[in-house]
Structure 1
Amino acid sequence: MTPTVVFVHGAMHTPWIFDPLRERLTARGIASRAVQLPSSNPDSAATQGLTEDVEVVRAAVAAADGPVVLAAHSYGGVPATWAAAEADQVTELVYIAAFALEPGTSMIEWMGGDFPPTWLHSPDGLAVKAGDAEESIFSGVDPVVAAEAVKRLNWQGMRAFTEKLAAAPSDLPATYVVATEDPALPPAVQEQWAAQAAHSLRVPSGHSPHLSHPDEVATVLAEAVARAATEG
């Protein structure tokens, strides 16, 4: 059975961010779905945390009819890693300039205990948002698409950053897409994570290769789907 690709977006995002990529997968005959993480919400008071995000990813995997290639961007790598540790349906994890943290680590610990100075804090203290998203998250993206993406950004719940990753798969194949011109997640760090993956690709992209280089990323995902179909 051909696997379904399940997409997990990054902090502050919505599933819309994967539309260009999903269109390319559809053209290749590959089914996909994209979750909405509850840590990302336009209402700061309604934002939730990492544990709720994991539940949503786990449910999306379980709802797929057959095997799943789990593809995550940025922060989405954290709940995707945790969910994949508990889901036999997942055949491969694809990190798209995503965080591949070690269990027992939180995002805020990885960030050195504080948020970037350009980030905004909600008045209620429950959430944050990147204040320089066009330069940090969407660098190298078509300006019209980048402007639309910035408009669609939500608040991101604090617990997404403070809760620790509880589990990671021990023997699940992974692919890492390194964004070599990423101003948000250092390419040198991405290279370290890519060195531990079974497959990797380098794209001359900023932090959002799924928007700036969707064809290349779609090919990576199609290869992951093909591997799973062959092994299945």
Structure 2
Amino acid sequence: MKAINTIALALSITAAAAATPALAAPASVATVKPTVILVHGAFADAGSWNGVAAKLRADGYSVIGAANPLRSVKGDAAVVSDIVKSVKGPVVLVGHSYGGAVISTAANGNPNVKSLVYVAAFAPDQGETALELSGRFPGGTLGQALAEPVAIAGGGKDFYIQQDKFHQQFAADVPKADAQLMAVAQRPIAEAALTEASGAPAWKNLPSYFIYGTGDKNIPAAALGFMAERAKSRKTVEIKGASHVVMTSNPAAVARLIEDAAQAK
């Protein structure tokens, strides 16, 4: 009888352990998927990420489309940094175009940022400006496509792309009807943002990933490749013929790279 009771007790303990696996094997923090924060650039808005966001959400990621003010690198980075601080858990910061300069600064001082993803984006070093980097290599035609600057109350100028040139300049591989609507809804960028010198870049301390198209007319592919190599990119994806809005025209490829950055150890 005593032997039977001992066996029964052992079976009871085994069953209890199986019913409460959390007590036996606590969930690892490493299994928590990072939140992906998407930061748009000039002449765009958070809607430019819709295709990417849909794929990330379908794969179980929390996604935030940050509203980038496009006023100054330091000020815009502070806005994004506040969003990062509000997130409990790891973050992957993703920037498009000028948004790359923003995430390079916004990640500083935020230990929950695990990696940076540059989507046809600037990755400036300290003291560099977006305007200087875009003109350092041949192939960019943005200057020829800009409309007459709009004066800002209190000083400064806002830049837009001429609507009739938007499709070929900014989004040549997007259906024309879609590009025309993007042109109407484009967000202007302040001249000050393009000419402000960047501070210490977070890409020197964080893993970075790059994706861009060879058909980019805003930031020449040669400039993007240079910045990727300089940042010691863990993975660089070059999409043949893709325009500046590679996240809109090739959302699956961009989402895959973001997930690579999210899953990397």
Fold conserved (TM > 0.5)?
yes
Is contact 2:133-2:223 (8 Å) kept? no
Question: Quick one: distance in 1 between partners of 2:88 and 2:81?
Answer: 13
Q: Report what 2:75 is aligned to.
A: 52
Looking at secondary structure, tell me which structure has more helix per residue.
2
1:108-147 paired onto structure 2 within 5 Å: 108-112=131-135, 116-120=143-147, 121-124=149-152, 125-131=156-162, 132-147=165-180
Is 1:186 aligned to 2:186, yes or no?
no
Which of 49, 58, 62 is equivalent to 1:27? 58
Secondary structure, in 3 states, of the residue corresponding to 2:145? coil
Is 1:155 aligned to 2:184, yes or no?
no
Is 1:212 aligned to 2:246, yes or no?
no
TM-superposed CA distance for 1:100, in Å, is: 1.0
Is contact 1:178-1:194 (8 Å) kept? no
Is 1:172 aligned to 2:209, yes or no?
no
Provide, for residues 71-114 of structure 1, a one-character-per-residue CA deviation record: whole Å limited to 9, x for no partner.
1111100011011233211111000010111111122333459x
Is 1:6 aligned to 2:43, yes or no?
no
TM-superposed CA distance for 1:67, in Å, is: 0.6
Question: Quick one: distance in 2 between partners of 1:59 and 1:106?
Answer: 23
Which of 67, 88, 91 is equivalent to 2:90? 67
TM-superposed CA distance for 1:145, in Å, is: 2.2
Is 1:202 aligned to 2:256, yes or no?
no
Question: Quick one: distance in 1 between partners of 2:215 and 2:130?
Answer: 21
Aligned length: 219
Q: Report what 1:222 is aligned to.
A: 259
Question: Quick one: distance in 2 between partners of 1:95 and 1:75?
Answer: 10
Is contact 1:8-1:76 (8 Å) kept? yes
- Report % sequence identity: 26
**TM-score normalised to the size of structure 1?**
0.88
Secondary structure, in 3 states, of the residue corresponding to 2:144? coil
Q: Report what 2:100 is aligned to.
A: 77
Q: Indicate how the Cα distance of structure 1 residues 112 and 224 shifts in structure 2: closer, same or farther if over 3 A, else same.
A: closer
Could you tell me which runs of 5 or more consecutive residues in structure 1 were left unpaired when the two chains were aligned. Answer: 40-47
Which of 118, 135, 145 is equivalent to 1:95? 118
RMSD, aligned CA = 1.7
Question: Quick one: distance in 2 between partners of 1:209 and 1:155?
Answer: 19
Question: Quick one: distance in 2 between partners of 1:6 and 1:149?
Answer: 21
Q: Which amino acid aligns with 1:156?
A: I
Q: Which structure has more RCO (C-alpha within 8 Å, separation ≥ 6)?
A: 1
Is contact 1:21-1:214 (8 Å) kept? yes
Q: Which amino acid aligns with 1:223?
A: D
Could you tell me which runs of 5 or more consecutive residues in structure 2 were left unpaired when the two chains were aligned. Answer: 1-31, 137-141
Provide, for residues 143-172 of structure 1, a one-character-per-residue CA deviation record: whole Å limited to 9, x for no partner.
232122111102211221121111212221
Q: Which amino acid aligns with 2:150?
A: S
Question: Quick one: distance in 2 between partners of 1:126 and 1:190?
Answer: 26
Question: Quick one: distance in 2 between partners of 1:182 and 1:118?
Answer: 14
